[in-house]
Amino acid sequence: MKIMLLRLEGILQSWGERSRWDHRDTSDMPTKSALIGLLGCAMGIPRGDPWLNETARLLQTAVRADRAGSIMTDFHTVQSRIGKIPNSEGKPRSETLCTPREYIQDACFTVFLSGDADRLNTCYEALRHPAWVPYLGRKSCPPTRPLVPVITEAYASLEEAVRTFDWDHPRVERPSAYVRAEVEDAYGMKERSDQPINASAYAFAKRNVRCVEFRR
């Protein structure tokens, strides 16, 4: 099986999954929609392009938390100098808007992608020479180390790669003896609402993942 691997390491990361109105949350792991967006960023493909939906169908993902980090909340204030900010009903607000935004601090994830070999090869080359600067969920969250894309055929499945592959770098050594991961699996017991079905309309479907925890 051909698998592409990425390392996502940064001081701050933010992977929104259920953000509504003023509150911007983060998932505890990179979402599939964000990973597809990261590939599109490297390719120079704008948001809403059908390529994103097609790639989401062609590729399966797994994410391993090599260093899980911790979640912090930052508070932003928003004002408009040209008019009042509308609320959810379209009516103007008179007050300053406070928007809590969540980030993951000091985390490192390994991402595994499998599926269509031609699409993997295309994305691999794009990640080595990205058209646009990649970021970890939000543009204010640049990676602190290169993404280091790797293509391998050494593993028979995503789960085998998740359990076996390791980066030869001391910064991603885990302080805990246990490692947590999620592997995309139609029979998995956990649901994630991050499968892009219409990127231009911000429409996402649920997908199933299998939670894996093991000792390294």
**Rounded Cα gap, residues 153 and 155, in angstroms:** 6
Q: Residue 88 has what pLDDT?
A: 62
pLDDT tens for residues 184-215?
999 999 999 999 888 677 788 999 999 999 98
pLDDT tens for residues 138-187?
999 999 999 999 999 999 999 999 999 988 754 445 555 689 999 999 99
Average pLDDT, the chain: 88
What's the Cα-to-Cα distance from 103 to each of 57, 88, 98, 123, 134, rounded to whole Å? Answer: 28, 24, 16, 26, 17
Q: Is there a domain that residue 40 lies in?
A: yes
Q: Is there a domain that residue 84 lies in?
A: no
Residue from 121, 142, 110 nearest 216 by CA: 110
Q: Residue 30 has what pLDDT?
A: 96
Q: Is there a domain that residue 61 lies in?
A: yes
Residue 62 · residue 8 · CB < 8 Å? no
Q: Residue 79 has what pLDDT?
A: 67
Domain count, the chain: 1
Q: Is there a domain that residue 132 lies in?
A: yes
Would you list the DSSP string of 9-60? EEEEE---SS-BTTBB---SS--HHHHHHHHHHHHTPPTT-HHHHHHHHHEE
Domain holding 112, by residue range, is 3-17+27-66+106-165+176-215
**Rounded Cα gap, residues 212 and 164, in angstroms:** 13
Is the model's pLDDT at 23 over the cut of 80?
A: no
**Mean pLDDT across 41-51:** 93
Q: Which residues pair with 91 in a beta bridge?
A: none
Phi, psi of 143 (to 5 degrees): -70, 145
Which CATH number characterizes residue 47's domain? Answer: 3.30.70.2660
Count of Cβ atoms closer than 10 Å to residue 136 Cβ = 26
**Rounded Cα gap, residues 62 and 181, in angstroms:** 7
Q: Residue 94 has what pLDDT?
A: 60
- pTM to 2 decimal places: 0.86
Q: Is there a domain that residue 95 lies in?
A: no
Q: Is there a domain that residue 81 lies in?
A: no
Higher pLDDT, 215 or 94: 215
Q: Residue 77 has what pLDDT?
A: 77
Q: Residue 153 has what pLDDT?
A: 95
**Mean pLDDT across 72-78:** 82
**Rounded Cα gap, residues 112 and 209, in angstroms:** 13
DSSP 8-state symbol, 99: E
- H helical segments located in the chain: 32-43, 50-58, 117-128, 158-164
Q: Is there a domain that residue 55 lies in?
A: yes
Q: Which residues pair with 67 in a beta bridge?
A: 108
pLDDT classification of 44: cutoffs 50, 70, 90: very high
